[in-house]
Amino acid sequence: MADSDDVIRRIDRMRFTPVRLREGYDMGEVDDLLDRLVQAAREGHAFAPIVAGAKFTPVRMREGYDMGEVDAFLAKMAGLTPVAGESAAREAAASPTARELVARIRDSKFRTSTFREGYPITEVDELFDELVRAALEERSLLPLIDSATFSRKKFQQVYRPEDVDQALRNLAGR
């Protein structure tokens, strides 16, 4: 089970690397599937049947999404069954201090890049989702921040490391 609000945010933030000179997935078809996943999350439906039935037209010599990135993201999504409203209820029950910290975490903004080396978007987003859960449970963020490591990628859509690192320093109070 996964919180539908967190899942929807993760889908909305996902940015796949556009490819043109190598084969990619048709962008419109992938975007349509992501829209169906958001709708399923709102309704609390399992993602597995939607992902299993997904078929994308390969494109070449016109812009498409990187196949590996799409496949990896959908593989992570396939096992989820979102539960509607769980996050809102947890947030409403949280202390004002916890809600303020959650707002600071969610307000973190990162520039993206394709040609520079950076942190994979999904890795960073997963950490920030975990930071939100820790804040709502009034656990310290420091162990998560101190143990955070990200792989580095190039030639795909990534977050710029300096933005992510600064946000983590700010959340840690450093």
Q: Domains of the chain: which residue ranges?
A: 1-92, 94-174
Please give the span between the terminal C-alpha atoms of the chain, in angstroms, as a whole number: 34
Examine the pLDDT at 85 and tell me if it is beyond 70: no
Examine the pLDDT at 88 and tell me if it is beyond 80: no
Tokens 């890795």 sit at which residue?
A: 123
Residue 61 backbone zone (phi > 0: left; psi -120 to 50: alpha; other: beta):
left
Strand order through the sheet with 24-26 = 18-19, 64-66, 24-26, 58-59
- Alpha-carbon distance of 18 to 31, in angstroms, equals 13
Supply the mean pLDDT for the chain: 90
pLDDT at position 107, please? 87
Residue 139 DSSP code: -
pLDDT band at 82 (very low <50, low <70, confident <90, very high): confident
pLDDT band at 77 (very low <50, low <70, confident <90, very high): very high
Tokens 């804040």 sit at which residue?
A: 135
Examine the pLDDT at 86 and tell me if it is beyond 80: no
What percent of the chain clears pLDDT 70, i.e. is strictly above it?
Answer: 97
pLDDT at position 92, please? 80
Strand-pair partners of 138 = none
Residue 20 backbone zone (phi > 0: left; psi -120 to 50: alpha; other: beta):
alpha
pLDDT at position 87, please? 67
User: Which whole number is the average pLDDT over 102-127?
Assistant: 90
pLDDT at position 1, please? 61
- Pick 45 or 26 by higher pLDDT: 26
Lowest mean pLDDT among 48-62, 81-95, 149-163: 81-95
Q: At what angle do helices 4-13 and 121-136 cross, to 10 degrees?
A: 150
Examine the pLDDT at 80 and tell me if it is beyond 90: no
Tokens 């004002």 sit at which residue?
A: 96
